[in-house]
Amino acid sequence: MTGIPHQNSLFATLIASLLLAATAPAQDTPMPEMVEIRGGVFFMGSQAGPPQEKPIHAVQVSDFWISKYEITHAEFAAFVEDTGYETEAEKFGTGRILRDGRFVYSPGFTWKEPHGPGSTVTEPDRYPVVQVSWNDGVAYTRWLSRQTGQAYRLPTEAEWEYACRGGTQTTYWWGDDFDQTNVNTAGAWRPGGAPWPRDEHTLITPIDRYPANPFGLHDMLGNNWEWVQDYSSADYYAAQVRRPESPVVDPQGPASGNERVLRGGGWNVNPDRATCSFRFLADPPVYRSDHVSLRVVRNP
């Protein structure tokens, strides 16, 4: 009888190993590189921006991990290959692109063919995935969670802004004055307000082209808009200030709504939209574009 506890221990170890192997991704499966962010208190919002950024209010966020880069084409492709997932751009048959100075939904533009029907991404591990909706982003995080056994999700607005600021309280993570050398925005493509380049849907830059912020994160501003978890509400910030808690702890956004929030600005925006506090509101399934990507977080 003395051997039974030892046998049970070996059996339990074997089961645990099998379960871990079942959830662990294959060694060659591209997975996002994550950066640990130590939580803290910061002032969220801006008094200088549009009404939806006001008022500035104190927020406390807990520790979390966030992807160092926007999710790459290769990382998203691994998810699709494993699951057969069909994005909403594929279901609807159109993606949103810039043409003649305005954005239109055009047939055949999807994450697979971001430059139009028949196109490819030559360096899928260096370019972010685009033409993804909020729903597509959530589906990707659920797959990551299943693959790794860890809780992946889209960041909350508070987590995103805290990570973007990198310990600063300025308009941009580098200061209050715009600097085009730090960010991929319209100024890089339209100096002095010049016309857009004719090949308008190829303006995305590699994930490591621009400098990282103080937390070591690339493209928190510019390159592509990034979906966050929260529903949108024009008066949500004001409601936070009215609460008795100070600061507000780990806000999750409104309980319901029709639109979700994107952050960070894309390659098409002017400096006033590529700030740490700017909020862009859009329809979760419908809004997908060649300047929209995502970033993921996971719990400690």
Query: At residue 256, what are phi and psi to the nearest 5 degrees?
Result: -155, 170
pLDDT at 108: 95
pLDDT at 259: 95
CATH number at residue 238: 3.90.1580.10
pLDDT at 10: 54
* DSSP assignment letter at 155: P
pLDDT at 24: 57
Considering its fold, how many domains does the chain have in total?
1
pLDDT at 201: 63
pLDDT at 1: 42
pLDDT at 100: 76
In a domain, 205, yes or no: yes
pLDDT at 104: 92
Report the C-alpha gap between 60 and 67 in whole angstroms. Answer: 20
Segments of the chain with pLDDT less than 70? 1-27, 198-201, 243-245
pLDDT at 233: 84
In a domain, 294, yes or no: yes
In a domain, 19, yes or no: no
pLDDT at 255: 92
In a domain, 7, yes or no: no
Q: How far is the CA of 204 from the CAs of 75, 185, 298, in angstroms? A: 17, 10, 26
Structure tokens at 61: 């966020």
Report the C-alpha gap between 109 and 265 in whole angstroms. Answer: 20
Q: How far is the CA of 187 from the CAs of 195, 222, 272, in angstroms? A: 11, 11, 12
Amino acid occupying residue 60: Q
pLDDT at 18: 43
Amino acid occupying residue 145: S
Q: How far is the CA of 294 from the CAs of 26, 99, 155, 205, 298, in angstroms? A: 23, 23, 9, 15, 14
Domain limits for position 284: 25-298
pLDDT at 26: 64
pLDDT at 21: 46
Structure tokens at 268: 């098409």
